[in-house]
Amino acid sequence: MKRADRLLFRGMLLYSSLLLVMLLTLVYIAQLVAKSSGPGHGVWSMTRLLSYAALQLPDVAYDVIPLALLLGALVWMSILSGHSEVIALRMSGWSVWRLEQPLLLVGVLGAGLMFALGEWVIPVTAPAAEAMWTNTDAPGAGFHNMGAQGLWLRYGAQIIQIGAVGDGGKVLQDLHLARIRQGMVGVDAMTTASEATFKEGHWSLHDVQFFEITPDQIRMTRVAEMPWSVTLHPATLRSFAHPTRTMTLPTLWQSYQALQSGALSMNRVALAFWRRVSYPWVGLVMILLAVPFVTRNPRGGNLAARVMAGLVLGLGFHFLTEMSGYISVSGGIPPLAATFLPIALFAAIAGVLHRFT
């Protein structure tokens, strides 16, 4: 690595790291203020508040690392432009792409950090923060209530309503099952169960009431336990009850495949999977935007104006990503398109800037 490469790399790493620390500090202080009153039940001391806010920082870091890379590139390149280093490198024959290469190495490090946070850190810290807020003894303890209407699924000829999901999707509570006639023209049978458990690859219903419906009568049968012949995997059910950010890529892929191959369909998991694959690379696109933005007019504009422009770009990308996600979850566009269209748009803008720089 040449001396100029080392200079660009170290400066980019320094300023991106400083800006990341500043952003995390601001969010940490904001969380302390916002959560100081506690959840309204149980013990909530200052030590618990500090720990809770700290456990949320990996989740925040995952979201703001691309913004830190964008701002770091803008700040460092603006500083170099103010001292004519960029002009000197350009006059010596360095293209914009040659200037970006050391900066993109920092972007690759940021992508690696984001993958590490998403796969190994957030799946531990996010449930721990949730457990601390709900004052449970351990992450994931207790049941996740599915709301007044419950969780509704369709599996073959069965319509399933689940009241609560617990133990990582291996225990379900307050179940109502309806067996639908051919063509969805009526109900053949209704089953209620207080609980369903998954053991050794099979489901069992407990405290069961079975109602067989015929044109002449409704016959009821009670049993303490009976097998439940469905192939719903606990990881799939867990995906409905837990935030997708706490799931690793293999778990997201497993849930995504189960949802796509069965009768179930949920864009939320597919969207989370493709975002987990693509989002760590957003920082590279941001760097490709920042460098030509400075080098097109190295003497124009001050540092504050460029940082403000960087914030507008970062917030614009975040807004576009969130909007496309909402549209995808509602069924408007496929999750794959919702994930990659914002990235492709900003990459195209970066390409245009490169062409005219």
Kindly report, residue by residue over 212-252, the tens digit of the pLDDT.
877 777 788 899 999 998 877 776 676 666 667 777 888 77
Helix axes of 303-329 and 267-278: crossing angle, nearest 10 degrees: 150
**Range of weakest confidence among 7-21, 28-42, 135-149, 340-354:** 135-149
pLDDT at res. 71 = 92
**Range of weakest confidence among 158-162, 242-246, 331-335:** 242-246
Higher pLDDT, 340 or 186: 340
Q: Report the b/e string of 250-273 with b at 16+ CB within 10 A.
A: ebbbbbbebbeebebebbbbbbbb
pLDDT at res. 295 = 82
What is the mean pLDDT of the segment spanning 270-288? Answer: 92
Question: Which residues make Cβ contacts (< 8 Å) with residue 225, sequence separation at least 6?
Answer: 204, 205, 206, 208
The yes-or-no verdict on residue 142 having pLDDT over 70 is no
What is the mean pLDDT of the segment spanning 20-49? Answer: 89
| SS3 of residue 166 by DSSP | strand
pLDDT at res. 143 = 66
Are 194 and 173 a contacting pair, CB within 8 Å? yes
| SS3 of residue 213 by DSSP | strand
pLDDT at res. 268 = 75
The dihedral formed by the CA atoms of 296, 299, 304 and 309, expressed in degrees to the nearest 10: -20
Higher pLDDT, 306 or 298: 306
pTM for this predicted structure: 0.77
pLDDT at res. 269 = 78
Identify the residue whose tokens are 């599915």. Answer: 146
| SS3 of residue 128 by DSSP | helix
The yes-or-no verdict on residue 17 having pLDDT over 80 is yes
CA distance 237 to 199: 15
pLDDT at res. 135 = 65
What is the mean pLDDT of the segment spanning 14-37? Answer: 95
The yes-or-no verdict on residue 306 having pLDDT over 80 is no
The yes-or-no verdict on residue 162 having pLDDT over 50 is yes
pLDDT at res. 263 = 45
Are 280 and 304 a contacting pair, CB within 8 Å? no
